Amino acid sequence: MSKKTALVTGGSRGIGFGIAKALASEGWNIVINGMRPEESVAEPIGELKALNAEVAYARGDIGSAEGREAILGVAHAFAGGALNLLCNNAGVAPKVRADLLETSEDSYDCVLDTNLKGGFFLTQAAANAMVKAKEADASFEAAIVNISSISATVVSVNRGEYCVAKAGLSMVTQLFASRLGEFDIPVYEVRPGVTKTDMTSGVTNKYDKLIEDGLCVTKRWGFPEDVGKAVAGLARCDFPYSTGQVIMVDGGLTIPRL
């Protein structure tokens, strides 16, 4: 294909779909990944195609080795080789927001398998293909963007497993940025703040009040398109000398203030 190809995990809804739309608007072809049957994601696929993007759907669970292999099989076949961009966005929240003293091993394993282990090994596999493509053609361009969260450093004691996973993903970013530097493949981390998606629908009232009371410097919720714009800038290689760095998309929530 003449256009570059991006794989956005969890790209059929929420922040992932905001990223996919931003990339499609800038001329990328898109592979979106999700767990739902393909017929259930016809609407978002149609929206992306309306932006003149070629689109493929790679169904699979990034938390399993078999799922990752299937996803990358679809993505690499669609791209005709290595991906130009991997965006590790897929993530799950704990099914129950339990106090730290009551977090179950089942919940911990579920969250970390998807939010950390999945991103680590999907990056490893995609990066190996990118390196081979780069060695075969020095002009080949590739990058990796990990969607983390302010929860990488901001504590929530009623979802500790989520915080641990996001903190781990931050280290994954630095590790792969260091390893892939010799191949000129940058790796970035984007940390969204309080973002309006289906994942946060259950805490809307809580954060409406907190935002109104000054939680964020920019007095509103974040939206998926805010994250999409950040990823699109990184994907354009607007920051070629900033590998391993964190882009905050949190409305100033994490600015220390008195």
pLDDT of residue 6: 98
**CA separation, residue 185 to residues 43, 119, 123, 126 (Å):** 33, 17, 12, 11
d(CA 189, CA 175): 12
For residue range 240-249, list pLDDT tens digits in order: 999 999 999 9
- Indicate whether 211 belongs to any domain: yes
Say whether pLDDT at 2 is over 70. Answer: no
- List, in order, residues 6 or more apart from 182 with CB less than 8 Å away: none
Q: What's the confidence (pLDDT) of residue 1?
A: 47
Reply yes or no on whether 188 is catalytic.
no
Span 193-225, pLDDT tens digits: 999 998 888 889 999 999 999 999 999 999 999
Alpha-carbon distance of 69 to 89, in angstroms, equals 17
CATH of the domain at 204: 3.40.50.720
* 151 domain residue, yes or no: yes
Is the CB of residue 59 less than 8 Å from the CB of residue 34?
yes
CA gap 17, 51 in Å, rounded = 13
Task: Report how far apart, in Å, the C-alpha atoms of 176 and of each of 114, 124, 129, 231, 240 are.
Answer: 18, 8, 14, 17, 15
Domain span at residue 34?
5-242
Q: Contact 250/207 with Cβ under 8 angstroms?
A: no
Task: Report yes or no on 256 lying in a domain.
Answer: no
Amino acid present at 211: I
Q: Which of 108, 162, 188, 241 is catalytic?
A: 162
- Give 149-197 pLDDT, tens digit per residue: 999 999 999 999 999 999 999 999 999 999 999 999 999 999 999 999 9
Domain count, the chain: 1
What mean pLDDT value characterizes the chain?
Answer: 96
Q: Does residue 43 form part of some domain? A: yes
Residue 109 lies in a domain: yes
What backbone phi and psi angles, to 5 degrees, belong to 138?
-60, -20
Is the CB of residue 162 less than 8 Å from the CB of residue 100? no
d(CA 70, CA 97): 31
Q: Is residue 81 part of a domain?
A: yes
Residues 6+ apart with CB under 8 A from 80: 1
* Residue 255 maps to a domain: no
Give domain status of residue 182, yes or no. Answer: yes
Query: 47-85 pLDDT, tens per residue?
Result: 999 999 999 999 999 999 999 999 999 999 999 999 999
pTM reported for the whole predicted model: 0.96
